[in-house]
Amino acid sequence: MADMTCSRAVLLHLDAAALTDRQQLLLERSVGTSRAVYNWGLATINEWEARQYAWLRERARAVTRTEDEAQTLLGDVDWRRGALLQAPGDLRRRPNTASLDRRFTELTRDPNSRFHWWHVENHGIPRHAMSTALGNLDTAIVRYWNHVGPSTRPPRKPRKDGRPAGWPRFKKKGRSKDSFAIFNLSVTGRRTDPWKVIDKGHRIRVPNLGSLRVHENTRRLRRWIQRGAIPKSARFVRRGTGWTVSITLDVPAEVISAPVTTRRQRAAGAVGVDVGVHSLVALSSDELIAGYPSAAFWRRMRRLQRRAARQRGPTHEQGPSAGWVETTRRIARLQRVDTVRRRGRLHEVTKRIATRFVTVGIEDLEVAGMTAAPHPKPDPDHPGSFLPNGRRSKAGLNRSIRRAAFGEIRRQLLYKTSRYGACLVIVDRFAPTSKTCSGCGAVKATLRLSERVYRCEQCGLVLDRDLNAARNICSLVLTPSPVDTADVKRCDTPTPSRSRPARCWGPADLPKGRPQRPAMDLPSPPP
């Protein structure tokens, strides 16, 4: 029986000042090659789908009389599934990572191909940069097909390029995320690790790139390796003006101890967590935890963006000015620093909650609906015109909600509670936690967002709005309704059901693996 292992990741930030010219060139070449291969693979799949749909259209026209009947037949999924069984072999199955990998190898040996340089030049780019791009493309397409089908949400509009919403886009330099990965850092099955962190505590050695200096101390990574963990991959991502490397480790199951509830957690009991904008987290223990302040960030960001607008940017006649390039670099660095600080604050808060309480309750919020733009208001007196709908005033609230990262807080609590022996409870999103009085249980008919203090007309309770909601969440956690666990879905894919009660989620409920690709990919007719 094979040894049971689990994955752990260690994130490190590269020291950009310590990168050599050769290392910087290899990083740039790797992300550029990854982007080019991704675009080539997407173009190949788009061409294959166009040929498949053209064959189906000709097949439908041959068995029908009019064009309308042919279009109706094309919309029938069962007919398309049966017709594809008689299609040529190259049209039956979509090109996947393996087939695209073989085709790319053939192109590198073709003197007239755009990728012929891969075979003849000493470029130093690892083969994994290409396989990473094709793997990411296959994952994006699988994600699209898994979301196609019956849904409670209204269908989204197709894109300007004619493709449906959710279909992968072509990557563009300067806009898409630059990343690539290097696999097979260690030989599979060997406990003697040939890939090791080098000395001095702030350096790692990666194949093809050599010795890289990082800002963090590598003590945590070295301790994992000393306990038997095997490094498998290193993923490099450009973030702002710097680079990060995420090293994935295969850790034996016997190394990781089972989560144990501490005495402090058992004494604290349950807690209700209400996330918000004014206070990042409100706990039912009458504690308000603020998030990372953003006033200074927005003040500096506005100043830099105005400076960049006054300077000469890129034009068709000549390139951008040196001042504009420097200002944009400062903007990217400011955004990166703000992201790192907000992420650190979220990890600090979520770990504090997961290690202090034995049961944590949180609401099932629909952030997409909370940040949606308001519906347009047609002007009855002037057809074709619209009245103000408050979209500009709601934009600030939407920006604050996104910066608060409600979904990220829930994601971190989901895996941290399982690691520290706690239990996560997801409360129904339709429960009136904000409108209900935590003292007497009276429910208000309406409660405006501007009312930051909850005042109960029945018992006279005066309490902060977020603390009142946190107390109600805690009460729902302590008194859950009986439910058949077979009829409840995972908390990472909730369904908007008003009758779904709260349920406790532990380590056994974590999502395992990724969804598999359908047996046959059927093309959707163009809009």
Under a CB-based contact definition with an 8 Å cutoff, are residues 347 and 411 in contact? no
Report the alpha-carbon distance of residue 77 to residue 81 in Å, rounded: 6
Catalytic residue among 178, 363, 509, 521: 363
Report which of 64, 141, 67, 61 is spatially closest to residue 100, judged by C-alpha positions: 141
Active-site residue, 466 included: yes
Bridge partners, residue 289, by sequence: 281
Backbone angles phi, psi at 231, to 5 degrees: -65, 135
HSE value, Cβ hemisphere, 13 Å, CA-based, for 276: 21
Report which of 246, 242, 416, 412 is spatially closest to residue 339, judged by C-alpha positions: 242
SS3 472: helix
State the CB neighbour count (10 A cutoff) for residue 131: 20
Backbone angles phi, psi at 363, to 5 degrees: -80, 155
Report which of 487, 354, 365, 512 is spatially closest to residue 426, judged by C-alpha positions: 365
Two tokens, residue 295? 């006033």
Under a CB-based contact definition with an 8 Å cutoff, are residues 379 and 386 in contact? yes
Report the alpha-carbon distance of residue 189 to residue 195 in Å, rounded: 14
Report the alpha-carbon distance of residue 420 to residue 350 in Å, rounded: 11
Catalytic residue among 49, 466, 509, 521: 466
Angle between helices 77-84 and 21-63 (to 10 degrees): 100
Catalytic residue among 49, 138, 178, 274: 274
Active-site residue, 274 included: yes
Active-site residue, 90 included: no
User: What one-letter code names the amino acid at 288?
Assistant: L
Under a CB-based contact definition with an 8 Å cutoff, are residues 15 and 215 in contact? yes
As annotated, the active-site residues are 274, 363, 466
